[in-house]
C-alpha cells in the first residue's frame, strides 16, 4: 500500500512548512516531509540529504521522524545535530548535498516548529512546497526502501570558516552577544574564543523555553537586556540572534538599535570599496536612504520582494554580492556562500567596526535623518488580502501615481514613500511609510488610510505606534 498523508492546510507556507506542535504539526508530518522530499531528490537522481535541528523542545522528535522518512525513500542521511540553521546551510554547500532540511521554529513562539529546505543548495519554496504536499496527498512516492544514516559534527569546521573571513584591525572591541537561548549557543561559545577582544555572552545556553525573552531581534523589547548590558559595560557593540541564528539584531555603543537597512548601508559601503559596481539587494520595506547610499557608493541597488527564499533566488539571478531584509536576514556572496547567516554577518560587521577611526554610533549619526513607521501588520483574510493590493494598485495607476509593484504597492511622492503588501505567510496586510518630516509622514499615512478605506479595510491605528527616527530607526 502506498504511503499517503495530508497536512493541516495552514502548515504549508510560502517559504517553509510550520505549525503548532501537537495541533497543526506532528511527527507524522515530519515523517511525510522526509518521505516526500526524499522522493523528489531520488527522482532527480540524488542520493543524499543533510538534516539538522534547533533547540526547541519538540525538535529532536521531529528530526527523528524526518530522518526515518528520508531513509524510507532511500536517502543517505547525514545528521549534523543541534545547531543554527546556517550550520545546516554550510553543511549542505560544503558536503555537496542533494538536499537539506532544518527543523526549526525560527523566531516563533516556543510551541511552534517547522522545516526549512534546500534542494541542490538552493531554496525550496513556493510551488515546490505545494507540490510536496500534493505528493503526500496522492501517495506518489518512490517505492519504500532502506537508506542509511551517519552523524557528523561540523561545528569546528564551520567556526573555522567563519574565522577565516575575520578582517578587523588592531582595535580590540568589547562585544556583548545576546544568544537569546538560541540554537547558536555552542557555536557562539567556540566562535568568540577565536575572535580578538573581550566578549560577554548573555543567555548562552540553548533552551527551548526561551525563559528570558522571545528570540526575535526585530522587536525592540527583546533587545532591552542587550541594550542595558552594552550601556552598563560601555561596550563597543551588541549583537543578538533569533531562535535559529539566521537573523541578526545590532545595537551600537550607545545602545541604540541599528535596524537592518542601516546595517546594510555599513556592510554595502565596505563591500563596494573592493567590488565597484556590485549589486546590492534589499526588500521593499527598506528605507530609501539605503538605496541612495548604495548608489552613492558606486553600487547597483536592487529593490526586491520580502522573503529570504525570494532574496536568495534573486541573488543567484543577478550575481549580487550582498542582500538583506528588514527582518534581519543578511546574505553575503563576495566571500561567503550566499545564504543568510547571522553569525557570519556578525563577524564581518565586527571587522568593519574594528577598523573604524571612531565609535559605531558615528556612522549612524552621519546618515540622513528620516522619520518612518515601524512595520504595521493588521488582519486581512487570505481570500481578500491579494485582491486588496490589486484594487489599490489599479486606483493608483489610474491616478498616475509613481508606483512599484515588485511586492505589493510601494508609492513614491514628494513627501517620501508608503508601502502596502500582503503577507505571504499570514492572513495579514503589511504597511509602512517614511518621510523626512513629521508633516510629510502624516500626509503619507493619510493617503494609505484613504486607499484602505476605499477597499473596505479598516486602517491600522498609526497613533498607537511611535515613529522611528533615523535611516530606519
Q: How many CB atoms lie within 10 A of CB 40?
A: 21
Contact (Cβ atoms closer than 8 angstroms) between residue 259 and residue 472: yes
d(CA 302, CA 53): 33
- Residue 304 makes CB contacts below 8 A (sequence gap 6+) with 281, 282, 283, 284, 310, 311, 314, 323, 406, 407
Give the cell for residue 255. Answer: 545602545
> What are the distances in angstroms from CA 218 to CA 26, 235, 246?
28, 21, 13
DSSP state of 336: S
> Residue 253, SS3?
coil
* Closest to 18 (Cα-Cα) out of 106, 131, 113, 134: 113
Q: Is the dihedral of CA 300, 303, 306, 311 positive or negative?
A: negative
* Closest to 290 (Cα-Cα) out of 318, 322, 316, 314: 322
Is residue 106 flagged as an active site residue? yes
* Closest to 149 (Cα-Cα) out of 83, 72, 91: 72
Q: Is the dihedral of CA 267, 313, 76, 133 positive or negative?
A: positive
Which among 11, 39, 59, 106 is annotated as catalytic?
A: 106
How do strand 17-20 and strand 300-304 relate by DSSP bridges? Answer: unpaired
- Residue 176 makes CB contacts below 8 A (sequence gap 6+) with 199, 200, 202, 226, 229, 230, 233, 235, 237, 238, 239
> What are the distances in angstroms from CA 13 to CA 16, 53, 427?
5, 19, 11
d(CA 244, CA 341): 10
Name residue, grid cell 555552542: 186
Q: In what order do the strands lie in the sheet with 330-332?
A: 300-304, 279-283, 322-324, 330-332
Name residue, grid cell 501615481: 401
Residues annotated as catalytic (active site), given as ranges: 106
Amino acid at each position: 500500500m502506498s504511503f499517503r498523508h495530508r497536512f493541516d492546510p495552514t502548515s504549508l507556507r510560502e517559504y517553509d512548512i510550520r505549525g503548532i506542535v501537537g495541533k497543526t504539526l506532528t511527527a507524522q508530518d515530519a515523517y511525510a516531509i522526509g518521505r516526500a522530499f526524499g522522493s523528489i531528490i531520488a527522482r532527480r537522481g540524488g542520493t543524499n540529504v543533510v538534516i539538522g535541528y534547533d533547540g526547541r523542545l519538540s525538535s529532536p522528535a521531529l528530526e527523528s521522524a524526518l530522518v526515518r522518512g528520508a531513509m524510507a525513500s532511500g536517502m543517505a542521511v547525514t545528521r549534523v545535530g543541534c545547531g543554527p540553521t546556517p550550520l545546516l546551510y554550510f553543511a549542505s554547500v560544503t558536503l555537496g548535498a542533494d538536499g537539506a532540511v532544518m527543523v526549526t521554529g525560527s523566531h516563533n513562539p516556543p510551541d511552534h516548529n517547522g522545516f526549512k529546505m534546500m534542494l541542490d543548495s538552493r531554496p525550496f519554496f513556493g510551488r515546490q512546497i505545494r507540490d510536496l504536499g500534493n505528493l503526500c496527498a496522492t501517495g506518489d512516492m518512490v517505492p519504500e526502501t532502506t537508506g542509511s544514516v551517519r552523524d557528523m559534527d561540523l561545528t569546528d569546521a564551520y567556526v573555522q570558516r567563519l574565522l577565516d573571513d575575520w578582517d578587523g584591525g588592531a582595535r580590540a572591541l568589547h562585544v556583548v552577544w545576546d544568544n537569546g537561548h538560541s540554537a547558536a549557543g555552542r557555536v557562539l561559545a567556540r566562535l568568540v574564543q577565536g575572535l580578538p577582544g573581550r566578549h560577554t555572552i548573555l543567555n548562552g545556553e540553548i533552551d527551548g523555553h526561551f525563559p528570558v525573552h522571545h528570540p526575535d531581534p526585530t522587536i525592540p523589547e527583546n533587545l532591552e537586556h542587550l541594550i542595558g548590558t552594552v550601556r552598563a559595560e560601555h561596550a563597543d557593540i551588541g549583537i543578538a540572534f533569533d531562535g535559529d541564528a539566521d537573523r541578526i539584531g545590532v545595537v551600537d555603543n550607545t545602545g541604540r538599535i541599528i535596524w537592518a537597512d542601516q546595517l546594510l548601508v555599513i556592510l554595502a559601503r565596505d563591500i563596494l570599496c573592493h567590488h565597484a559596481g556590485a549589486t546590492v539587494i534589499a526588500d521593499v520595506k527598506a528605507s530609501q536612504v539605503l538605496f541612495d547610499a548604495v548608489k552613492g557608493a558606486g553600487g547597483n541597488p536592487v529593490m526586491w520582494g520580502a522573503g529570504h527564499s525570494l532574496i536568495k533566488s534573486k541573488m543567484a539571478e543577478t550575481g549580487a554580492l550582498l542582500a538583506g531584509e528588514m527582518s534581519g536576514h543578511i546574505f553575503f556572496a563576495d566571500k561567503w556562500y550566499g545564504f543568510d547567516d547571522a553569525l557570519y554577518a556578525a563577524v564581518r560587521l565586527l571587522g568593519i567596526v574594528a577598523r573604524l577611526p571612531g565609535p559605531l554610533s558615528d556612522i549612524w549619526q552621519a546618515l540622513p535623518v528620516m522619520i518612518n513607521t515601524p512595520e504595521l501588520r493588521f488582519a486581512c483574510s487570505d481570500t481578500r488580502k491579494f485582491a486588496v493590493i490589486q484594487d489599490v494598485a489599479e486606483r493608483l495607476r489610474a491616478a498616475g501615481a509613481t508606483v512599484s509593484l515588485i511586492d505589493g504597492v510601494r508609492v513614491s511622492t514628494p513627501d517620501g514613500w508608503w508601502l502596502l503588501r500582503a503577507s505571504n505567510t499570514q492572513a495579514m496586510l503589511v504597511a509602512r511609510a517614511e518621510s523626512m518630516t513629521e508633516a510629510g509622514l502624516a500626509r503619507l499615512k493619510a493617503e494609505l488610510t484613504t486607499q484602505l478605506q476605499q477597499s473596505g479595510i479598516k486602517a491600522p491605528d498609526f497613533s498607537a505606534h511611535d515613529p522611528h527616527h533615523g535611516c530606519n530607526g
